[in-house]
Structure 1
Amino acid sequence: SFYVAIDIAPINLASFLNLAGEHFSALNVTSPHKNTVIDFCGKLSSTAQKTQSVNLLVFDNDTITGDNLDVLGFKSLVSRNEIPLNDKNVVVVGSGGVARSVIHAISETSSPAAIYVASRDPDMTERKLEAYDYDYPVIPYHEMFRICDVVINCTPDSAERALPKPPASKDSAGVAIDLVYNPARTVFLKIMEDAGWRILNGEDMF
C-alpha cells in the first residue's frame, strides 16, 4: 500500500473518480471537494449524510462509499487535550464541511451552553446552513469574542491573516482552536496566545 497526494482541479474531478477505483482502494478528500464528491457516491455513512461532507472515499467494485472522519477527528482532538465544552459558549468560525463536522461532533459528545457560527456574511451563511438543516445562531465576526469561551476556526483564512482580535477588556481568556496545522501557529493563534488564550491547532485530529 502507499499514500500519495494528488491535486485535482474541480473541472477534472468526475473524470478522475471514474478511473480512481481501478488504481486505489480508498481516497482521502480535502477542500474544495468534500461536498461535491457526494454526487459520485453510491453510499454514504450516516455521519457523511448528516454533515453533507465527505473526506474518505472507499472503492468496492463499482460502488463508491463516502464517509466523514472529521467528526471522529475533532472528538479525538477534544479528548486528547481535555477541552472543556460543557456549559461553554462555543463559536465555530465558518460554515463549510469541516465546520459542520465540528458542530456535529460537539453536539454528539458535549452539552455546551450554546453553539454559534461566526461569519463575514451572516445572511448568506444562514441560508447555507438552512439548506443543510443546521439551525444555529449566526453572528458577524465582530461579535464573536463578546460571547465565546471557546472559538474554533474552520476556515483557511488564519494561515495568512488574522481573524478578529479579542478585546483587551474581556474578563477571562478561553480556548482558541485553529484546525489549520501548517503552519503550526497561525497568525490567529499567535494573536490569541498573546491575549492569554490557550491555543491548539488541528494536528491532533489525525
Structure 2
Amino acid sequence: MLKRLLFLFWGLFLFALGIVLTVNSNLGTAPWDVLHLGLTNYLPFTMGQVSQLTGIIVIMASWLLGVKPGWGSLANMYFIGLFIDMILAAGWIPVTHYWLAQLVMLLAGVWLIGWASYFYLSAAFGAGPRDSFMVAAVQKTGWSVWKIRTGIETSVAALGYFLGGPIGVGTLIIAFTLGPSIQWAFNIMGKRAQDIDHDSFIFQKKQAVGESTD
C-alpha cells in the first residue's frame, strides 16, 4: 500500500510539473489546459483551481454515466491542481521566448507526463477524472476510444480557444507525442497499459486505450 501511495503522489506531482513545463514553453498547451487557461480569463481562480473545478464537474458527469470515481480519480482532481499552483507560485519553471528552449521545455513536459501516467496508473487507485469520463462515454455510446477521445479533446480545445486559451504548434506536438510518451514509459518498465488494473484505465474487455482501432 505504501508503495502504491508513493507511486500515486509521485505520478501526480510529475503530471503537474509536466503541465507547467508545457504551459510555460509558450508554444500552446494540451486541450484541457487550453480550456483551463481560457477559463482563468473569466473566473477569479488560479489555473490549478480551475483544473480542480473542471475535474469535479467531469467526475460528476462520469458518475452519472455509470463510472464511479476511485480514490485515484479524486486524488488526481485535487492534487494535480494543487501541485500546479505550488510550482507556478514557486517560480521553478521560467517562461521562455527562445524557440529552442521552448521546444525543449515542451518535449520535457510531454516526457514527464508520460512517466507520470505510468506511476499513477500503476498505483491502481483509479484513472483520472478525464480518463474516467472517456471510459464512461465509450461504454455508454459503444463508440471506439479514438472517436470519443478526439471528440472530447477537440471540443474542450475549441471552447478554451474561444475563451482565450493558448492554442499553438505545441498543442499539435502534444497531440501527436503524448500517447507514444506514455507507451514508452510503460515499455521501459516492462509493462503494458492493458495489464494495469481495470479501475486504473481499461475496460472490462481488457482493451488498452491505444489499441482500440475501430
TM-score by length of 2: 0.30
Larger C-alpha radius of gyration, 1 or 2?
1
Higher fraction of strand: 1
Higher relative contact order (CA 8 A, sep 6+): 2
TM-score by length of 1: 0.31
Higher fraction of helix: 2
